[in-house]
Amino acid sequence: MTPQKLISDYIVDVWMDGDAESLEPDTPLTELNIIDSMGIFDLVGFLQREFSMTVPMQEVTLKNFRSVRTISALVVRLRQDEGGNAA
């Protein structure tokens, strides 16, 4: 399963009561109040567990957590930086 799909599924399950139809890759998560600042930190924990990676605090920004697509891009970039497999 791709990072984008895993992230999308997690957001739908945790914050959207399973309503996957409302979530597109570019849906603005914080602007639409799907995820708040505390939710971002929950999501960081999920990313670190699911992808066996570290998300540095300087990367926890609204820009990086704007949408499923931006979060997925962050995961891919950080995994590449750590020398891991980005897929």
Q: Please, are residues 39 and 46 in contact by the beta-carbon 8 Å criterion? A: no
**Tokens describing residue 31:** 């602007």
Q: What is the pLDDT of residue 1?
A: 86
pLDDT, tens digit, for every residue of 34-86? 999 999 999 999 999 999 999 999 999 999 999 999 999 999 999 998 775 44
Instruction: Tell me if 87 is assigned to some domain.
Output: no
CATH of residue 11: 1.10.1200.10
Count how many domains the chain has. 1
**Distance between CA 18 and CA 14 in Å, rounded?**
8
Q: Domain of residue 70: give its range.
A: 3-81
**Beta-carbon count within 10 A of 52 CB:** 10
Instruction: Tell me if 86 is assigned to some domain.
Output: no
Place of tokens 């540095």: 56
**Distance between CA 64 and CA 54 in Å, rounded?**
14
Instruction: Tell me if 9 is assigned to some domain.
Output: yes
Q: What is the pLDDT of residue 81?
A: 86
User: Is residue 87 predicted with pLDDT exceeding 60?
Assistant: no
Q: What is the pLDDT of residue 83?
A: 72
The DSSP 8-state label assigned to residue 20 in this structure reads G
**Distance between CA 62 and CA 72 in Å, rounded?**
14
pLDDT, tens digit, for every residue of 15-29? 999 999 989 999 999
